[in-house]
Structure formats: C-alpha cells, structure tokens
Amino acid sequence: MWTQHRYQALSARFYEPVELSPSASPSLLMLNESLAEDLNLDPDWLRSVEAVAYLAGNAALPGVEPVALAYAGHQFGNFVPSLGDGRALLLGELVTGDGKPVELQLKGSGRTPFSRGGDGRAPLEAVLREYIFSEAMHALSIPTSRTLAVVLTGEQVARETMRPGAVLARTAESHVRVGSFQYFAARRDNEALGLLIDDVVARSYPDLLPLQGVERARALLAAACARQAQLVARWMAVGFIHGVMNTDNISLAGETIDYGPTAFLDNYNPGATFSSIDRRGRYAYGNQPAMAGWGMARFAETLLPFLADNEAAAIAAAQEALDEMSYAFQEAYEQAFAEKLGFVSVDDRNRELANRLRDLMSEAEADFTATFNALNAIAAGREADLLPQVFAALPAFAAWKADWKAALGTQTEASAVRMRRANPRYIMRNHRVAAAADMAAATGSLSGVLDLLEAARHPFDRNARIDYLAAPPFPEERGIRTTCGT
C-alpha cells in the first residue's frame, strides 16, 4: 500500500527528517472517498483510529521515514536561500489505480527543521479552502494536487484570533519545484542538481529518459516551460488567480500546488488580486503569464551548467526555451478563449472578437464566469438573463454580439456544445468559500462546504439545489482578501 519516498534513494541532502508533533485529539472531519478508492485505499480503514493517527501526523507509517523537503525560492522577487517545508510533512508514496506513483504529504501537522519560528500548524479555514479549490481545479481538468482528507487536531492555533487547527492530507505527482533546484544552485552543488534533473525526468517526463547529458537538460527545460505555459493558460481561461507564484510554489510537474491566497475572478479585471500580502499586484490575474515566465527563467539559471559547455551557449539555449514558452502560452491562451466563444480553432476573426470582448468586460466590470455562461445560452438559442445588465448601456456590445453571431454562422448548436465544455457554470467564488469556511470553523457546520464541493466536482452541470452558487457577488461582497494560513 505505502512505499518509502524516493528521496531517500537519491540523497539525504534533499530533506530533513522530522520528529513528529502529535496533536491532542485528532479526528477525521472530511474524507475524499473517490480519491481514496483511486489510490486503492479502503475508505472504512481511513476512518479508523489507526489511519487518522497517520493522517494527523501523530504516527509514522510503518517503514516510512517522515521528512520535510529542502528548497529555496524567490518570494515576491526576493531570494531566500533556505525555505523548505515549514509546515508540511512528506509521509511516503502511493500508487494510483492506473499505476502512477504519487506523494502523500501532510500540511499543518507541526513544526519541522524549516519552520523558522512558525508553529507548523494550519487553521481549519485555510485547509478547507485548499480542499475546495483543489477539487474544483481537478474537475476542470487542470493539473493539481488533491486532498485526501481533512483532520481536526483538537487544538487551537493562533492567527489573528484563535482558530481550530486542522491537517490537510494531500497528494501530488511530485513536490519538486523551481525552488528545489535553486536550493542546490545557491550552494553550487551540481551533483545534487544532476540527481534532481534525473529524478524529475523519471517522475514527470519519462519520454525524455532516452536522452542523456546536455540533451536531457535542454529537453527538460523546454518540456517544463511548455507544461507551465499550458497550466497558466488554463488558469486564465477560467479566471483563476493563484495569488502567490513564488518560485517555491512553481511545480516542475506542472501541477497547481500550494493554494493560499487563491481565488477566481468575479468582475473581469486584469489587475485583480486577492492576496492580503500582494500589495503591489505582482501576482495579479493578468500578470500570471509574465510571472510564470520569470519563475521558469530562474529555473533555467539553475540549469546553465548542464545546458552547454560554455556560458554563452548555455544562456542562448535557455533563452530559446523561454521564448518558446511565451509562444506556447499565447497559443494555448488564444485557443482556450476561442473555445469559450464556440470556435474550434483560432483565426484572426475570433482572436479579435476575444480581445474586444475582454475590453468590453473590463470597461463594464462584467462578471467573468456569468458573461461566458450568458453567451453560451445565446449560442443555444436563449437570450440569457445572466448577461450583465451593464452591457445594455454599452452600444459597442450590441455590435460585438452581431459580429460574434456572424462569425459563428449556422453552427450555433455545435458551438453551444463546445462552449458548455469550456465555460463552467460554477466557480469557487471567494465570498462563498470564505463564508463556508468561517461557518465551519465557528459552528462546526459543513453545509456550506458540502454545497461548494458539490459544485466544484460538477462545474458544468446546472443543479437547482445549489444554483445560488452561480450568482455573482454583490459589489460589497467583492474584494475579500485572503491569507496563506501561516
């Protein structure tokens, strides 16, 4: 069932052993049964006292050494040479139903050697947010870590106020990130970097295994850049804002990890941020492509000794991969918005339509998700009641709609089907997530969380019971700021 984590076979300098910090009285709050079954785990056993002790970090899995991973990172542009898992604990590995290994990590289980004065714990609200958002991203077919379980610790943690403590048990293909490479590059440890290159290729890019040396390093850089470009384009297409794209949060498996001040757009605004600490908008919605490129440029820097025999040639190879990443993002982004408007592929006409629509949405402060749902209804032959009324005051919108309908031509039924697959009805709206998580922490009621999880897992299917979740927020409900929970 469980296997030892692969880092032990690589090098002890990739991690620090962790002495467990048992919590007072752990209890299982939520279990992701579908994920458990995919991992060949018995849900009934996961509810047992024995399993809950493992999931809380109170006991180590038999034969598995719990560790905290070492990494560095640029945090809001400032390099920190040693960060590491300050409140995360790698338990070991599992194998999915289709034979893929995944890592099982606990978040909020207590202090590690990298805690830097923190308590290593997590408040329940932050844990529930990650569960809700990661389930939503999975259902939207966006690569992401997953939540297996939420465990209450029976203790309070001190944040702005005292909050119920909880542990998130999550899986990911890999927890190696750009910061993992930066950690060893800062120490000029090329041997460790070489081991990491081989590990990332074997785990996440097995098609590159036949390559060796310079060819392998260059191919890894190109593939990782392409995967990151695709990921961010898919975020943008559903209005997702990661919120803290520091290099220690950029997964080299191309997954969405470390949900903290995460949110989905309400009104369309390229400058939108939701993080309480992103005061200058570094990681705003519209800045995410540039920040992904910036982060991957930092990854390229760590690979320079492996890309060529001389610095000039290495820099040229790195720049080529980064340029290709920019093209790959633009191509994926334009394709995603073409599909959101009902088109099969991108051409000059629908590219211009997408650009004009975003400009109109920005001018009107139109709700991102509701607008595309309304256009989907129009393509299906219904004039939508969800179409933001503010558009009625914009003569340019009537002209845009006429041009869009003309571009769709007679293929509106097929276009409506494509749009339905590209435009979720339900996103995890920040005010709803905040209210549900706060209610759970304050009263123990999970009703709001369960409604959100239902919507998260079926984002394209209208459900009358929870359709209130599709409504955009009132102006006073916008702009809720979120924190990372540390």
Contact residues for 370 (Cβ-Cβ < 8 A; gap 6+): 386, 387, 388, 470, 472
Please provide residue 180's backbone torsions phi and psi, each rounded to the nearest 5 degrees.
-65, -40
* CA atoms within 13 A of residue 368's CA, in its CB half-sphere: 25
- Residues of the binding site for ATP: 84, 86-87, 107, 119-120, 170, 177, 258
Helix ranges (H only) for 366-462 are 368-379, 395-408, 412-422, 430-443, 447-457
What does the alpha-carbon distance between residue 435 and residue 418 come to, in Å, rounded to a whole number? 33
- Residues of the binding site for Mg(2+): 249, 258
239-to-196, 225, 273, 456 alpha-carbon distances in Å: 33, 21, 12, 14
Per-residue tokens: 408: 């769709």
Residue whose C-alpha is closest to residue 257's, from 101, 60, 95, 107: 107
Strand ranges, E, within 229-364: 240-241, 263-264
Q: Is the distance from CB of 73 to CB of 179 less than 8 angstroms? A: yes
Catalytic-residue membership of 207: no
- Residues of the binding site: 84, 86-87, 107, 119-120, 170, 177, 249, 258
What does the alpha-carbon distance between residue 264 and residue 454 come to, in Å, rounded to a whole number? 17
237-to-141, 193, 341, 422, 429 alpha-carbon distances in Å: 12, 34, 11, 8, 15
Contact residues for 63 (Cβ-Cβ < 8 A; gap 6+): 2, 4
Catalytic residue among 248, 266, 367, 451: 248
Q: Is the distance from CB of 190 to CB of 305 less than 8 angstroms? A: yes
Catalytic residue positions, numbered: 248
